[in-house]
Structure 1
Amino acid sequence: MAFARAVRAHDPECTGPLGLVPCAVGGTAIREWARGSHLYENMVRRARESVRRGGRIQGLIWYQGESDSYTREDAEGYKGKMEELVKNVRADLGLPLLPIVQVAIVSGGDAAYVETVREAQLGMRVENAVCVDAKGLDLKKDNLHLTTEAQVKLGAMLAEAYLKNFTSYSAPGCT
């Protein structure tokens, strides 16, 4: 919601609806989001459904990767799988330049593999995609999940990245 509020505040003249299509499933690895999987197909179906009555898909926020930090194989394979996911989502939605805002994780399994996933996220060079670094945001006592305050701050950071990098993608008068 912090993301939506920040985007809405950017353009108070835009009075139309601003929809978010949540598809998150906690504890999932990037391989579980491959084309053809239940998670991937559900995400694409929900995105398509969201525009049936005239809406437009304006971007994808991707915050995932902690579950890929438990093994070397998963961590080292993250970048290629994420690039494939972006390519597939854009193709399946017919949006070849769909803006992507990815979050670089801050926690997860093995600390060394968290860094491997973070490096993949921060170093990914995909057209019309940016990465927001969550490092430094406060974690709950479980050392895995962000505190409520950190989630609000991250939402504002995501909105700032989206507005800075992708406002030309939006229609005139509304982001």
Structure 2
Amino acid sequence: MLFFFLLFLTTTSTHSPSVHPQPLPPSPCQSPRPKSIFLLAGQSNMVGRGGVDPSIGWDGVVPPECSRNSSILRLTMKLKWVEAQEPLHIDIDTTAINGISLGMAFANAVMRQDRSLGLVGLVLCAIGGMKISQWERGMFLYNQFMRQARAGMNDGGTIKALLNRRHVEESDAVQYKVRLEKFFTDVRTDLQSPELPIFQVAIASGQRNFIHEVRKVQLGLDLPNVRTVDALGLPLKPDQLHLTTPAEVRLGQILADAFLQAVLSTKDSSSSV
């Protein structure tokens, strides 16, 4: 009898429900916040058309130099930081087919050579087909640009540079110098960064009658802390306007070298004081 009683106790304890502690609710996960911010402004050549065939779409080929990196973020149109990947302007320039740009090649190159930059954030403000006259202070594109730039800084990051790249429409050529200088000055004033480093790309394609004139303006621009790199000679797509994917990669690396050289020069100047 005692045997059956003990067997009953054992069986009951075996099948009694176990009590496990309830899992703790997940702790709030803080969104990543970039330390170093770069502004990318301009037209379709800044957006990037590498690998794009207008009749087919983007070929989806991402060179190793443009690969994703968890330490490179992009600011979406909804002002949220997400991991960056090509095509970078996918939710910015929404009326065209986007492809490979110089952006990821630039970001990967500067991060690889200067680890002190920390988490990098790209603020993307380029829109294809828009003239420089449409980027004047108070107009929609300029206001949107400022909104994105300020949102990027709200998380504590520092804007390291503005990268500016565009081609020129015929009606803009005469006033290009005045408008370009005003755009750069207004950006610095409105971001309260009078010495903001600016890197522009000298045009290498577009309206042939005006290329020489505009290149002369760009290469001779006399504003402090504005540097110009040259895209002339880089391979163009059949449209003779946009760069090929390899050319976009190369231009991104050229801009990265220019930025890093400027940083090095600044450090050397500071240390000599």
Relative to the length of structure 2, the TM-score reads 0.58
Deviations 1:56-88 (A, max 9, x none): 111100001x233x24xx212111100000110
- Output the amino acid matched with 2:114: D
Unaligned 5+ runs, structure 1: 170-175
The 1-side partners of 2:105 and 2:180 are apart by: 25
Q: Identify the residue that residue 143 of structure 2 maps to in structure 1.
A: 41
RMSD of aligned residue pairs (Cα, Å): 1.3
Q: Is the 8 A contact 1:101 1:158 kept in 2?
A: yes
**How is 1:25-64 mapped onto 2 (pairs within 5 angstroms)?**
25-64=127-166
Q: Is the 8 A contact 1:27 1:67 kept in 2?
A: no
The 1-side partners of 2:215 and 2:117 are apart by: 37
The 1-side partners of 2:236 and 2:202 are apart by: 14
- Output the amino acid matched with 1:8: M
The 2-side partners of 1:148 and 1:15 are apart by: 26
The 1-side partners of 2:200 and 2:111 are apart by: 20
Q: Identify the residue that residue 244 of structure 2 maps to in structure 1.
A: 147
Unaligned 5+ runs, structure 2: 1-103, 268-273
* Bigger CA radius of gyration: 2
- Output the amino acid matched with 1:132: V
**How is 1:94-109 mapped onto 2 (pairs within 5 angstroms)?**
94-109=192-207
Deviations 1:107-166 (A, max 9, x none): 112x12121111111110110010001000000011000000000000000011111123
Q: CA deviation at 1:15?
A: 7.0
SS in 2 for 1:61: strand
Which fold has the larger relative contact order, with Cα–Cα distance below 8 Å and residues 6 or more apart in sequence? 1
The 1-side partners of 2:197 and 2:245 are apart by: 26
Query: 1:67 pairs with 140, 157, 168, which one?
Result: 168
Which has more strand, going by share of residues? 2
